[in-house]
Amino acid sequence: MIRLKTEIFVKAWLRRCMAAGAFAAIARKGHPEAGILIVKVVAGDGSALAYIETFSDKADIAWRALADEFKPEMEIDTLIKRESNFDPDLWIVEVQDREGRPFLDGIA
């Protein structure tokens, strides 16, 4: 499997979010070619959830939630900070969507 550069994936994902009427932005740039990605989703009620990029046993991209449900945004920010302490190449992007949609395929 050929892995798409993270920077290219992020740019396409941002366009996908905005085309659906959501606001999305890069909060932290990581390694342009191979950085792992965290997507933070902020719903209309102010709660949040984050997904981190993982890989399936077939080396396909999958997404794992950092929490089991939407929580107060500060709690999710704490989880993201913990992850970012381990990986200096990590990308963090945020989407604000009333419905809380992450606009990601393969959510586990």
56 pLDDT higher than 90: no
Instruction: Locate the domains of the chain by residue range.
Output: 23-96
CATH architecture of the domain with range 23-96: 3-Layer(aba) Sandwich (3.40)
Q: What is the pLDDT of residue 23?
A: 97
| Confidence band of 59 (pLDDT split at 50, 70, 90) | low
Spell out the residues 6+ positions from residue 10 whose beta carbon is closer than 8 angstroms to its own.
26, 37, 91, 93
Q: How many other CB atoms are found less than 10 A from the CB of residue 92? A: 23
pLDDT exceeds 80 at position 15: yes
